[in-house]
Structure 1
Amino acid sequence: MLLITCPWCGPRDETEYHYGGQAHVPYPENTADLDDRQWAEYVFYRDNPKGPFAERWMHGHGCRRWFNALRDTVTYEVLATYRPDEPRPDLAAPAAGGER
């Protein structure tokens, strides 16, 4: 079982969370100007890297807040979690606490 640390509630079992897709995908500024191809790319096309990947998660059985997580897609290890208003953590820098 995977243990994920909610930035507000602390470590909880993965069954309390809902996956929300790739993090840091900006909403298009002028949606009316998008053609069908551009709209489909925004809605459906996402990165699929091997290694650390920024994802959105929601603590459905807790505070019900959205947060971001860096998860290794090879090992499934959660490397870090952070609030949406915080920058993506630099994994090369030493960890100051939390997951890592």
Structure 2
Amino acid sequence: MLLITCPWCGPRDETEYHYGGQAHVPYPADPADLTDEQWAEYVFYRDNPKGPFAERWLHSIGCRRWFNVLRDTVTYRVLASYRPGEPRPELPQAGGNR
């Protein structure tokens, strides 16, 4: 089980949350001008990195707020959580002081 820290409620078990997909995906500026192919790309295509990945989560059993989580897709380790509108946290470089 993952232990995810809600920025408002603190650490809780992952069963209290719902996954919401990739974070920081901007809504199209002029959605009416998009082609079907561009809409499909916006709706269905997301990054799939090996390593740190910014995700959206909803604390559905708690405060019912959305927030962002930086999670390592290799180890499933939660590296940081932060409120919407806050910048993605910088991670220490590999091999650096921790």
Q: Do they superpose with TM above 0.5?
A: yes
Q: Return structure 1 stretches of 4+ with deviation > 3 angstroms.
A: none
**CA RMSD in angstroms, aligned pairs only:** 0.9
- Report the CA distance between 1:2 and its aligned residue: 1.0
Question: Which residue in 1 is equivalent to 2:8?
Answer: 8
Alignment map for 1:32-51 (pairs within 5 Å): 32-51=32-51
> Where does the alignment leave 5 or more consecutive residues of structure 2 unmatched?
94-98
For residues 14-56 of structure 1, the C-alpha deviation after alignment (integer angstroms, 9 at most, x for no partner) is: 0000000000000001011000100000000000000000000
Superposition TM-score, scaled by structure 1 size: 0.91
Question: Which residue in 2 is equivalent to 1:68?
Answer: 68
SS at the partner of 1:39?
A: helix
SS at the partner of 2:68?
A: strand
Superposition TM-score, scaled by structure 2 size: 0.93
Letter in 1 for 2:41: E
- The alignment-based identity, stated in percent, is 84
Letter in 2 for 1:56: R
Correspondence 1:87 to 2:87: yes
Question: Which residue in 2 is equivalent to 1:25?
Answer: 25
> Where does the alignment leave 5 or more consecutive residues of structure 1 unmatched?
94-100
Letter in 2 for 1:29: A
**When the two structures are aligned, how many residues end up with a matched partner?**
93
